[in-house]
Amino acid sequence: MQAGELYRPDAELAADHTAAEQWMARYNASGASSAAELHALLGERFRKVGRDAVIRPPFFCDYGSNISLGDGVFLNFNCVILDVVEVVIGDRTQIGPAVQIYTADHPRDAETRRAGLESGRPIRIGSDVWIGGGAIILPGITIGDGALVGAGSVVTRNVAPGAIVAGNPARARPA
């Protein structure tokens, strides 16, 4: 799965997903908890949680164990990260409400999908990125340092460092 090859979901993955669901129930019910308590909860599940990283509940993910957050990362309410493979979010990146980050992918031909095979492609989001509310980041995307993704955009291609993209599909815009 981590290598981006086709895999078939099995009992071990189902158990990992169930553990993540139980963790999400605790995290999402803790809205009145202090920032330190929320940070500690993130540390229970995520691969890495940088200093002062914040995710406002509710938050949803597949596993959590494939997510790495840099220092000062902020995710607003209702974000979804499908982390069947690695998701890395760099320092000081700000992510608006209802942003969806999808590493989960599926074969393009119906016969392979029918066989129940899936795959994933990692997502890397640089430092000092701003992703507007409701944006969707598709599997395999890299967003460079300092880039800006407009609200509601669907990011289907890599975004260069410092670029501004918006729309569906997201395209470069002047600064």
Domain residue ranges of the chain, discontinuous segments joined by +? 7-170
What is d(CA 24, CA 70) in angstroms, rounded to the nearest whole number? 20
Tokens of 34: 């202090």
- The predicted model scores a pTM of 0.93
In the predicted structure, residue 3 carries a pLDDT above the cut 70: no
Helices 35-45 + 11-28 axis angle, to 10: 180
Which pLDDT score is estimated for 32? 64
Which pLDDT score is estimated for 8? 78
- For the ranges 16-20, 100-104, 162-166, the lowest mean pLDDT is seen at 16-20
**What tens digit of pLDDT does each residue of 30-84 get?**
876 788 999 999 999 999 999 999 999 999 999 999 999 999 999 999 999 999 9
Q: Which residue is catalytic, options 8, 26, 48, 106?
A: 106
Which pLDDT score is estimated for 2? 60
In the predicted structure, residue 10 carries a pLDDT above the cut 80: no
If one compares 7 and 140, the residue with the highest pLDDT of the two is 140
- Quick one: CATH architecture of 7-170? 3 Solenoid (2.160)
Quick one: which of 147, 168, 175, 174 has its CA closest to 159? 147
Tokens of 97: 């409400």
Quick one: which of 102, 100, 74, 104 has its CA closest to 89? 74
Catalytic residue at 106? Answer: yes
